[in-house]
Structure 1
Amino acid sequence: DQFSHTPLKISNDDTGDVACDSYHKIEEDVEMLKSLKVSHYRFSISWSRILPDGTTSYINEMGLNYYERLIDALLAANIMPQVTLYHWDLPQALQNVGGWENDTIIQRFKEYAEVLFQRLGDKVKFWITLNEPYNTAYCGYGVGTAAPGISVRPGRAPYVVGHNLIRAHAEVWHLYNETYRAKQGGLISITINSDWAEPRNPHNQEDIDAARQYLQFFLGWFAHPIFKNGDYNEVMKTRIRERSLAQGLNQSRLPEFTESEKQRIKGTYDYFGLNHYTTCKLIGNKGKTGILITDRSWLNSGSFWLKVTPFGFRKILRWIKEEYNNPPIYVTENGISERGALDLNDTWRMHYYRSYVNEALKAVVLDGVDLRGYTAWTLMDNFEWAVGFDERFGFYHVNLTDPNLPRCPKASARYYSQIINCNGFPDPPLEMLFCHLHFLN
């Protein structure tokens, strides 16, 4: 809230004060979900709404009541809630003492999670600790393009923040595993975001190495400690240490885990949560950081960073399988944006989902990827962080010029409901044939 009210931070000075007003539209939004025929709905809980000062000294019962009503409405509609504990909204009181740079936040996050497990855990069976920790660390505390907007120590702060995020995730996983799992019977893990990295020349070793380094710094930063051995990957450790020493420092800017922390972190997952949208190409740069390029043949979207590259979806799913010993995967975000004049006949979105779901099916059927579920981003147009309401990802358009904020389905809404109905993508002449593909939620 504070970040969005800071001048020049958000496009058009948009704020999330009301946004799509889901707070007052539970019934309407659940009806939309029912019409889509979804089996799951992913949403986040605002730490600030539950614990206004970030601690358990005061629990806001009105905030908890809202989530209870939403969860009850979803369960009544036979829709499973997928609940994210932290999707970037941190109580300001905690940011005032350093936020994720202050390691006392690990205990604060654990206390917050325990309130939710105690109050909602009997009804919620699918938890996500952190959404996109890479963006929290890098965008929030490195380049400052996301809340809290800090950019004073770009070479150090993101690694400190990432270190605390990983340790906080591990503590919350152990809390659930040791205290609540037996009674509540749910799943809990983390959602990591990553593009796929493609070498410009697949036969050039420098390009291959640059793409591998990109993946290890992006996806591997958080996945390697949790899904592999409790520690950062060697690509990161070597690269950051070398650059730190070259800058005249006497140690790496990347913090180190103690041996006990490594044991505590390793294996703190029940599934691999993945947010994926696009692909980039890498050119090797004589041992330095690879050069990012895009292919002009790739289709654009409403976001400068999002190119339509379905082939990368299958590749990153297969890479996760091979790199992390075939964990169960839930895709928790995948989608495409548009900008400018509204066109409810969003054929580009239907093309995107058809193409990407096709690649996901190939990953399952041909590559043996253990893909358990898929969640599209997103139900309706909403506040998209720094770009405000300029970029629209929704199946439903939200008319922000009308005080009632009416929702209107785009053509993709009906198409996506057919995908769900068939657990795969519907090819109209062969629709019934494809209905036996049972992997999508």
Structure 2
Amino acid sequence: MKTKNKLTIIYILLMSTCTSSQTNQTFPNSFKFGVASSAYQVEGGWNLGGKGESIWDRLTHSKPKKIKDRSNADISCDSYHKVLEDVQLLKDLDVDFYKFSISWPRILPTGHVNNINSDGIRYYNELIDELIANGIRPVATMFHWDLPQLLQEKGGWLNEKAVLAFEEYANLLFSMYGNRVRDWITFDDPGRFCFDPYYQQTSFADGLKEDGNVGYLCAHAILKSHATVYRLYNFNYRERQHGRIGISFGSTWMEPGVRGESDDDISELAMQLELGWFAHPIFSRIGDYPKMVSDQIDYFTRQIQTSSFIIPEFESADVEFLRGSSDFFGLTHYTTKICDSSQSKFSAEGTPLFGMDFCGQNEQWENGTSPWLQVVPWGIRKLLNWIKKEYDNPEVFITANGFSDDGSDNDCRRVHYINSYLEHILAAIYKDNCNVSAYTVWSFLDSFQWYQGYTEKFGLYNVDFNALERTRTAKLSSMVYTNIIKQRKIDWDYSPEGYKMCKWGLSTNGTA
């Protein structure tokens, strides 16, 4: 362990030196900056204006103990009532775009187009029009985890009818908003709601989450659903709306340990499961699921001598249908893990979730408030290079990257996180020729953070959740981010008036 730590420190110092010359390098003129949110986390108005119930409404109301602080997002930031105020804050930030999600149950209370909610249509019209009036490009996500509860009760994503319902929902969105929205994202981080057992408590109906292959069945449905919507847009809308449509994948960088080839193999296997399982069918030249993972799953099923664990397969027509079905590579990234082949083992729950069992944290790395989030800026550069090599350097749209803390307005640690990760993105662009087109900070506002409630804060703006008006206050990070956008470069010495100057020091992972 001591040897590993020394080698890690040496590597990080070298990487820090390598990117220091990039500190004053300007971002390309075409590079875009934005911020993100999701409907359930910020909107509130959970039962107003004819909105239907979502799976998160049901969970937080029926099982409040599941949430760390027993809270919910019934009101949250109250963005449902604060379109004008929020867009003004976005204008103050000087962002190029705002990535928000549309609440499926607010538009279609039952999940189906035979019941369209006019107030839901109105709300997103107001938001989109206000963004455009202020020179901010709307980037709309169709699904960010808030499935209509009535679809959930029919089996959720494990029911083929959900794929058809999503296609009808997407078609409605294109017809309502496609004349103004030019950037669409079908699904945000499907790996999270398909594979993470912690989140499967809301993603699947009771009893369906017990089978070991449920995550793979969900992934299969999501991929087919995405491709169906992509082809729908191509056939019916692209020629006259001139937009783009993609999907956003969440991925940790899986760093090999120091044991040589065995750790390299484990790291690659973890990457292929973490990211390749979703990206490979769409972005690889041959399509289909990564063979490396499929072979390992076959081995797993033989080891446990079971025939119940069946991974769905694509027909040859499906492979062709999926391949190339995205105009950009959406990437959500926060942190890095270390993969150690000596710790390799199958999941105790009987699901081969590679990477979850033998890729873990390094005690030398700094943590955010979220225990899973360690600050490892060079990880994003390595991940971008992996995508470049694996998928022939597609356009990467970084759809979320951010840091959690306790909510302080003088959030120096978030400033350091953003600066550091952007430095390594610059290095990936200029030194490695990675095709990165946009960067998005998660998140615009402090908001409801799923199972963690309001105990973790990611926002550039503080929200007073005890105040009736849900008062917003700009944090230091919002000022620094605006300066980066205006100057198109990172200025480590920038400190706006009224905020304490941050003091930077180099820890073992190159962070303050």
TM-score (norm 2): 0.80
Q: Partner of 2:312: helix, strand, or coil?
A: coil
Counterpart of 2:474 (choices 409, 413, 421) is 409
1:172-220 C-alpha deviation (Å, 9 max, x unpaired): 000011110000000101000000000111x511111111111111111
Q: Specify the alignment match of 2:137 in structure 1.
A: 80
Match status 1:294 vs 2:294 = no
2:398 counterpart letter in structure 1? V
Matched residue, 2:396 = 329
Q: Does 1:373 align with 2:438?
A: yes
Instruction: State the match for 2:269 in structure 1.
Output: 213
Among 315, 319, 342, the alignment partner of 2:382 is: 315
What does the per-residue CA deviation read over 1:143-181, in whole Å, with 9 as the maximum and x for residues that have no partner? 635544767425111110110000000000000111100
2:269 and 2:211 mapped to 1: Cα distance?
Answer: 19
Structure 1 CA distance for aligned equivalents of residues 462 and 374 of structure 2: 22
Matched, 1:237 2:294: yes
| CA displacement at 1:248 relative to structure 2 | 2.5
- Please, which runs of 5 or more residues in structure 2 have no aligned partner? 1-56, 346-353, 495-512
Asked if the contact 1:143–1:154 (Cα under 8 Å) also holds between the matched residues in 2, the reply is no
Query: Which ranges of structure 1 fall in alignment gaps of 5 or more residues?
Result: 430-441
More divergent stretch after superposition (263-272 vs 233-242)? 233-242
Counterpart Cα distance in 2 of 1:66 and 1:225: 35
1:129 aligned to 180, 186, 210, which one?
186
Contact 1:396 1:413 survives alignment (8 Å): yes
Task: Pick closer, same or farther for the CA change 1:320–1:234 going to 2, 3 Å.
Answer: same
> Match of 2:147, SS?
coil
Matches of 2:447 and 2:487, distance apart in 1: 27
What is the aligned partner in structure 1 of residue 410 from structure 2? 345
Judge conservation of contact 2:132–2:138 (CA < 8 Å) in 1: yes
Of the two structures, which has the highest relative contact order with CA contacts closer than 8 Å and spacing of 6 or more?
A: 2
Q: CA deviation at 1:28?
A: 0.6
Instruction: Check conservation: 2:155, 2:205, Cα contact below 8 A.
Output: no
The equivalent residue for 1:113 is 170
In structure 1, the partner of 2:425 is 360
Q: CA deviation at 1:266?
A: 0.6
8 Å contact kept, 2:213–2:309: no
For 1:207, the aligned partner's letter is D
Q: Which residue of 2 aligns with 1:433?
A: none
Per-residue CA deviation, residues 35-84 of structure 1 (Å, 9 max, x unaligned), is 11001000000111111111111100100110000000000000000100
Identify if the C-alpha distance between structure 1 residues 286 and 20 changes in structure 2 by more than 3 Å, giving closer, same or farther: closer
Kept after mapping to 2: 8 A contact 1:206/1:286: no
Distance 1:52 1:251 in 2: 35
Q: Following the alignment from structure 1 to structure 2, what is the Cα–Cα distance between the partners of residues 157 and 371?
A: 33
The CA deviation at 1:362 is 0.3
One-letter amino acid matched to 1:208: D
Identity percentage of aligned residues: 39
**Which residue of structure 1 aligns with residue 489 of structure 2?**
424
Q: Which secondary structure does the structure 2 equivalent of 1:192 belong to?
A: strand
Deviation track 1:264-287 (CA, whole Å, cap 9, x = no partner) reads 111101000000000000100486
> How far is the alpha carbon of 1:405 from its aligned partner?
0.5
2:60 aligned with 1:4, yes or no?
yes
Partner of 1:158: 215
CA distance in 1 between partners of 2:298 and 2:322 (Å): 22
Distance 1:298 1:41, change over 3 A: same
Structure 1 position 251, deviation (Å): 7.3
- State how far apart, in whole Å, the 2-side matches of 1:219 and 1:242 are: 20
- Is the 1:320–1:326 Cα contact (8 Å) retained in structure 2? yes
CA shift digits 1:372-394 (9 cap, x unpaired): 11111011100111101110000
Aligned length: 425
1:22 matched to which residue of 2?
79
Alpha-carbon distance in structure 2 between the residues aligned to 1:241 and 1:60: 46
What whole-Å deviation, never above 9, does each CA across 1:213-245 have from its counterpart, x for those lacking one? 111111111000111133100121111121123
1:226 aligns with 2:282: yes
Q: Select the residue among 387, 390, 394 that pairs with 2:452.
A: 387
User: 353-362 or 98-107, which moves further after superposition?
Assistant: 98-107
Q: Which amino acid aligns with 2:96?
A: S
Distance 2:344 2:67 in 1: 36
Query: How far apart are the structure 2 equivalents of 1:196 and 1:146?
Result: 26
Amino acid at match of 2:149: Q
Q: Which amino acid aligns with 2:95?
A: V
